[in-house]
Amino acid sequence: MISVVIPAYNAGGFIKRTIDSVLAQTYRDYEVIVVDDGSTDNTADVVKSCAGKVRYIYQENAGDGPARNTGIRAAKGDWIAFLDHDDEWLPQKLELQMKLLDRNPDLRWCGANYYKSCFSRRVAVGNVEALRKALGDRDYFDNFFVAIHKKGCGLITATMIVHTEVFEQVGGFDSCWLRWADLDMWWRIAYRLPKIGYLPQPLAIVHLDVQGAVSTNLRIASKRGDQTWKLLRRHIQMSKEQGSFQEFRPLAEKFLRDSLLTTLYHGYGADSKTTVKEFSEFFPSYWHLATYLLTIFPTFTAAVLHIIAYVGHLLGLEPEVSRRWIRPKRVRRKEMQVWRHTRSDAADRP
């Protein structure tokens, strides 16, 4: 049996679509566990109105990582499948993944390609034909990190299925992260189990236009570099200890460079300088020089980058679906204080 774990926070406006996409699966041996992470809207009423295999669990607000841990502890299945409260699955998602796992009994986890959707636009994250070619006649990639960096393998929490014994080995989701609890988990698993099953056809839809106000504002707050530095410090050390640094390094380089471009785009000059200085071994000399020049007047740099991005958006040149142009809603200060309080309590946990 598969236990489907859905953490939810103030998701009353869209979680029924998420649950319905699970109930519509062609694979029928599953249970659905919705962990309400202290919602203040009608999330509980909506979830409880879904009859059948849906179990509702309430907990005080602690974040999506701890909510997933609550779901894992309550799970009765041999496998755990994860789905966020604002995303959905295509009908054959579980069936195709379980067939793959049945064909490869040594695999302990499996992912799949997915769509990003924003209003009327929907684009597959990974190139389906290129991924099929990279896989050849196999159902898996030999190394998670190589698959992400070199094969264009799109992976996200909404497509992951993991055997319960894996969490006994690596532990649960860490509660200290603003955004990266899922990445931290997948990287930790990959050190122990580098081989991962993968389906190149998109099997999930990640909706970028339905995020709640709190998650939207937290996403914007996380654009600063401190969370990235913390994540990379941890995993550079862990990958070296696990003998996986050479495989991890190219992914770390890409992650750091993307983070640098993000901080420049948002005008965080000090964060940009710190990223290049602290992780200097991952940046060639010309990146150091470019960062120095672009952070002399960080506000001007950010304005220019915004103009370039917006022109590309108007001309339809953006290769990916993005939530960049969705105006974030204002969030009540009280809600942000509650969330930040739970994070500050957990910030120093290992």
Taking only the tens place, the pLDDT of each residue in 212-237 is 555 655 666 667 888 889 999 999 99
Q: Are residues 178 and 51 in the same domain?
A: yes
12 and 116 belong to one structural domain: yes
How many alpha carbons lie under 13 Å from residue 11 in its C-beta half-sphere?
26
Are 142 and 195 contacting, i.e. CB atoms less than 8 angstroms apart? yes
Q: What is the pLDDT along the chain (350 residues), one digit of tens a residue?
A: 999 999 999 999 999 999 999 999 999 999 999 999 999 999 999 999 987 779 999 999 998 899 999 999 999 999 999 999 999 999 999 999 999 999 999 999 999 999 998 877 888 999 999 999 999 999 999 999 999 888 778 789 999 999 999 999 999 999 888 778 999 999 999 999 999 999 999 999 999 887 655 565 566 666 788 888 999 999 999 999 999 999 999 999 999 999 999 999 999 999 999 999 999 999 999 999 999 999 999 999 999 999 998 898 788 777 777 766 665 554 444 444 443 334 434 433 33
Q: Are residues 127 and 267 in the same domain?
A: no
Q: Is residue 119 part of a domain?
A: yes
CB 56 within 8 A of CB 44: yes
Q: Is residue 342 part of a domain?
A: no
Q: Which domain holds residue 236?
A: 217-328
> Is position 200 within any domain?
yes
Same domain, 58 and 84: yes
Count how many domains the chain has.
2
Radius of gyration over alpha carbons of the chain, in Å? 20
- Is 347 domain-assigned? no
Together in a domain, 151 and 239? no
Tell me, yes or no, whether 349 lies in a domain: no
93 and 125 in a single domain? The answer is: yes
CA proximity to 124, closest of 100, 152, 149, 146: 152
The strand ranges marked E within the chain are 2-8, 30-37, 54-59, 79-82, 88-89, 109-112, 115-118, 121-124, 140-141, 161-163, 196-199, 204-207
**12 and 111, same domain (yes or no):** yes
Would you say residue 309 lies in a domain? yes
pTM, two decimal places: 0.88
**Residue 210 CB neighbours (<10 A):** 18
Residue 197 and residue 223 in one domain:
no
| In-domain check, residue 225 | yes
